[in-house]
Amino acid sequence: MMRPTAILWARIATQKSLLRGKNVLTLEHFMQKKKALSLWREIMRAIIKIPGSPTKREMRDYARTEFERHRDVQDIGHIRYLISTGRTQFDGMKRYINEQVL
């Protein structure tokens, strides 16, 4: 038999569920979110290396706009595509950044 305090806590937990009204990430969504954040950080680290110029701001703004535009995408296949495309674009951008730094 459960103690009265345990029953009370169980009721409170059920009524005030932390998950109520919030989307719970699946493992696959969590992994893709991690990859997207990793790509974002890598892009920002690379942009910092560009000497002060309008190009630096333009690249940062472009990356931010693209990430924000696709923020609410939920389809795993589409998320994978976006990360892959972003990675490809970033590889091209890295070549440009390396030319700017040298």
Nearest to 46 by CA among 34, 67, 32, 60: 60
Average pLDDT value over all residues in the chain: 82
pTM here? 0.72
Chain segment 5-14, per-residue pLDDT in tens:
655 555 555 5
Chain segment 28-49, per-residue pLDDT in tens:
999 999 999 999 999 999 988 8
Q: Are 84 and 39 in contact (CB under 8 A)?
A: no
Chain segment 34-90, per-residue pLDDT in tens:
999 999 999 999 988 888 778 889 989 999 999 999 999 999 999 999 999 999 999
pLDDT of res. 80: 96
Using the structure block, give the residue that is written with the tokens 């795993």: 76
Rounded-to-integer distance, Cα 98 and Cα 102, Å: 6
Q: Are 29 and 76 in contact (CB under 8 A)?
A: yes
Rounded-to-integer distance, Cα 92 and Cα 70, Å: 20
Rounded-to-integer distance, Cα 40 and Cα 83, Å: 10
